[in-house]
Structure 1
Amino acid sequence: MKKPADLIRQERYNSATTEYTLAIITDEDHASKVELDNGQKAWTSKLRYDTLYRNVDKETGKVSYTIEAIPAERGGEHQLLSFIAENDRGAEFSELVKFGERLLTFDDRTGLVCEVRNHNQLVPRHILMSGSGDEKFKGFKSEWATLKNDQLIVGSHGRKRAHQWIKILDHDYKITSIDWSSRYQLMKDALQLSEQGYVIHEAAEWHPYLQEWIFFPRKVSDLPYDPARDETQSGNNILLLASEDFSHIRTLSIGKHDPERGISSFKILPGHPNECVGLKSIEIGNRTESYLFCFNLDGEVLQPDTYIGPYKCEGIEIL
Structure 2
Amino acid sequence: MTALPADQQRYRRYTPETTQYTLAIITDEDHASQVELEDGQTAWRSTLRYDRLYRSETGAGQVRYTFEDIPADQGGEHHLISLIAEGGRGAEFSELVMFGKRLLTFDDRTGLVCEIRHENQLIPRQILMTGSGDERFKGFKSEWATLRGDQLVVGSHGKNPQESWIKLLDRDYRLRSIDWQDRYQRMREALGVGPDGYVIHEAAEWHPERRQWLFFPRKISSEPFDEPVDERTKGGNTLVIADEDFTDIRTLTVGERVPERGVSSIKLVPGRPNECIGLKSVEIGDRTETYLFSFDLDGRVLQEDTLIGAYKCEGVEIL
TM bucket normalised to smaller: over 0.9
**Aligned partners of 2:246 and 2:229: how far apart in 1?**
30
Structure 1 residue 184: deviation in Å? 0.2
Residue aligning to 1:244: 244
User: Which runs of structure 2 are paired with 1:160-179 in the superposition (5 Å)?
Assistant: 160-179=160-179
Moved segments of 4+, more than 3 Å: none
Structure 1 residue 311: deviation in Å? 0.3
- Which ranges of structure 1 fall in alignment gaps of 5 or more residues? none
State the TM-score, normalized to the length of structure 2.
Answer: 0.99
**Aligned partners of 2:77 and 2:160: how far apart in 1?**
35
CA RMSD of aligned residues (A): 0.5
SS at match of 1:135: coil
State the TM-score, normalized to the length of structure 1.
Answer: 0.99
**Aligned partners of 2:11 and 2:18: how far apart in 1?**
12
**Aligned partners of 2:80 and 2:193: how far apart in 1?**
39
**Aligned partners of 1:10 and 1:172: how far apart in 2?**
21
AA matched with 1:15: P
Structure 1 residue 218: deviation in Å? 0.2
SS at match of 1:104: strand
User: Which runs of structure 2 are paired with 1:116-135 in the superposition (5 Å)?
Assistant: 116-135=116-135
**Aligned partners of 2:167 and 2:61: how far apart in 1?**
41
Count of aligned pairs between the two proteins: 318
Residue aligning to 2:63: 63
User: Which runs of structure 2 are paired with 1:1-319 in the superposition (5 Å)?
Assistant: 1-57=2-58, 59-319=59-319
**Aligned partners of 1:123 and 1:173: how far apart in 2?**
13
**Aligned partners of 2:77 and 2:259: how far apart in 1?**
30
**Aligned partners of 2:160 and 2:227: how far apart in 1?**
14
**Aligned partners of 2:72 and 2:258: how far apart in 1?**
31
Structure 1 residue 48: deviation in Å? 0.3
SS at match of 2:273: strand
Q: Deviations over 1:112-171 (max 9, x none)?
A: 000000000000000000000000100000000000000000000000110000000000
- Aligned-pair identity in percent equals 65
Structure 1 residue 298: deviation in Å? 0.6
Structure 1 residue 32: deviation in Å? 0.2
**Aligned partners of 1:143 and 1:275: how far apart in 2?**
22
Structure 1 residue 223: deviation in Å? 0.2
Q: Deviations over 1:60-114 (max 9, x none)?
A: 0100010100011110000000000000000000000001110000000000000
AA matched with 1:126: Q
**Aligned partners of 2:102 and 2:244: how far apart in 1?**
26
SS at match of 2:32: helix
Structure 1 residue 193: deviation in Å? 1.3
**Aligned partners of 1:196 and 1:169: how far apart in 2?**
34
Q: Deviations over 1:266-317 (max 9, x none)?
A: 1000011210010000000000000000000010000000001000000000
Q: Deviations over 1:32-52 (max 9, x none)?
A: 000011100000000000000
AA matched with 2:43: A
AA matched with 2:29: E
Structure 1 residue 182: deviation in Å? 0.2
